[in-house]
Chain A
Amino acid sequence: MEIRSHEILFVGGGGAGLRAAIAAAQVDPKISIAVVSKVYPMRSHTVSAEGGAAGVAKSDDSLDEHAYDTISGGDWMCDQDAVEAFVREAPQELLQLEHWGCPWNREPDGHIAVRAFGGMKKKRTWFAADKTGFHMLHTLFQTTLKYRPITRYDEYFVTRLLVDDGRVQGVVAIEIMSGKIQAITAKAVILCTGGCGRVFPFTTNANIKNGDGMALAQRAGAPLKDMEFVQYHPTGLPFTGILITEAARAEGGYLINKDGYRYLQDYNLGTPQAQPVLRSMELGPRDRLSQAFVKEDQKGRTTPTEYGPVVHLDLRHLGEKLINAKLPFVRELCMKYQNLDPVRELIPVRPVVHYMMGGVSTDIHGGTPLAGLYAAGEVACVSINGANRLGSNSLPECLVFGARAGRAAAEFAAGQGQPNGHVLAQAADEQLRLERRYLNKSGGNERIATLREEMQKAVESGAGIYRQESSLKQAGEKLRELQERFQNVGLDDRGHTFNTELISAMELGFMLDVAESIVESALHRTESRGAHQRTDFPARDDRNFLAHSLVRRAADNSLQVEYLPVKITRWPPGERVYGEASQAAAAPEQLKRVS
Chain B
Amino acid sequence: MTDKIVLEIARYEPDRDQVPRFENFEVPFRKEWVVLDALNYIKDKVDGTLTYRWSCRMGICGSCGMMVNGEPKLTCATFLSSYGRDAKIRVEPLRYFPVVRDLVTALSDFLVKLQKVKPWLIRHDEVPLAAGEFLQTPEQMDLYKQFSMCINCTLCYAACPVVGLDQEFVGPAALALAQRYNLDNRDQGSEQRLGALAHPDGIWGCTFVGECTRVCPKHVDPAGAIQQYKLKAAIEWVKSFVLPRGHEDHREERRKEAA
Contact = CB atoms under 8 A, between A and B. Distances in A.
* Co-complex (A, B): yes
Nearest to B138: A106
Nearest to A135: B148
Contact of B45 (A336, A449, A498): A449
Most buried by B among A99, A333, A447, A449: A99
Contacts of A261: none
A501 interface: yes
B121 A109 contact: no
A143 B120 contact: yes
A128 B72 CA distance: 28
Interface string A336-356: 111110000000000000000
Given A47-B61, A336-B59, A100 B120 contact: yes
Contacts of A106: 136-138, 141
B135 A339 contact: no
Main secondary structure of the interface of B (DSSP, over half): loop
A8 to B, nearest CB: 21
A108 B133 CA distance: 14
A41 to B, nearest CB: 10
Interface in A485-504: 491-493, 495-501
A495 B104 contact: no
Contacts of A448: 44, 48
A400 to B, nearest CB: 14
Contacts of A242: 57-58
A501 B43 contact: yes
Contacts of A95: 129, 132-133
A39 B63 CA distance: 9
Contact of A501 (B49, B62, B111, B114): B49
Interface string B150-193: 11100000000000000000000000010001001011000000
A180 interface: no
A44 B56 CA distance: 9
B107 to A, nearest CB: 6
B148 to A, nearest CB: 6
Contact of B13 (A45, A109, A208, A495): A495
B137 A145 contact: no
A498 B104 contact: yes
A338 to B, nearest CB: 5
B84 interface: no
A99 B134 contact: yes
A43 B120 contact: no
Contacts of B77: 336-337
B209 interface: no
Contacts of B108: 154
A40 interface: yes
Contacts of A145: 114-115, 119-120
Main secondary structure of the interface of A (DSSP, over half): loop
A398 to B, nearest CB: 17
A108 B55 CA distance: 37
Given A48-B58, A112-B133, A336-B77, A239 B32 contact: yes
A177 interface: yes
B96 interface: no
Contact of B100 (A48, A208, A338, A498): A498
Nearest to B115: A145
Given A45-B56, A497-B100, A92 B115 contact: no
Contacts of B111: 40, 154
Interface in A91-135: 92, 95-96, 98-101, 103-106, 108-112, 131, 134-135
Contacts of B152: 40, 42, 138
A92 B53 CA distance: 36
Nearest to B81: A339
A103 B60 contact: no
Given A206-B56, A208-B55, A493 B15 contact: no
Contact of A177 (B100, B181, B184): B100
Contacts of A303: none
A532 B66 CA distance: 42
Contact of B54 (A143, A177, A207): A207
B119 A142 contact: yes
A103 B135 contact: no
Contacts of A338: 32
A240 B148 contact: no
Most buried by A among B61, B100, B149: B61
A146 interface: yes
Contact of B135 (A111, A206, A493): A111
A100 B122 CA distance: 9
A468 to B, nearest CB: 32
22 contacts: A40-B63, A42-B152, A48-B56, A99-B129, A103-B145, A103-B148, A106-B136, A108-B138, A111-B135, A131-B60, A134-B151, A135-B148, A177-B106, A240-B57, A337-B34, A337-B58, A339-B31, A448-B44, A449-B43, A500-B43, A500-B51, A501-B49
Given A493-B49, A500-B52, 15 more contacts: A39-B55, A47-B60, A101-B184, A101-B187, A103-B144, A111-B133, A112-B133, A145-B114, A145-B115, A206-B61, A239-B32, A240-B57, A336-B59, A492-B49, A497-B100
Interface of B: 13-15, 31-32, 34, 43-45, 47-49, 51-63, 76-77, 79, 81, 100-102, 104, 106-108, 111, 114-115, 118-121, 127, 129, 132-138, 140-141, 144-145, 148-152, 177, 181, 184, 186-187
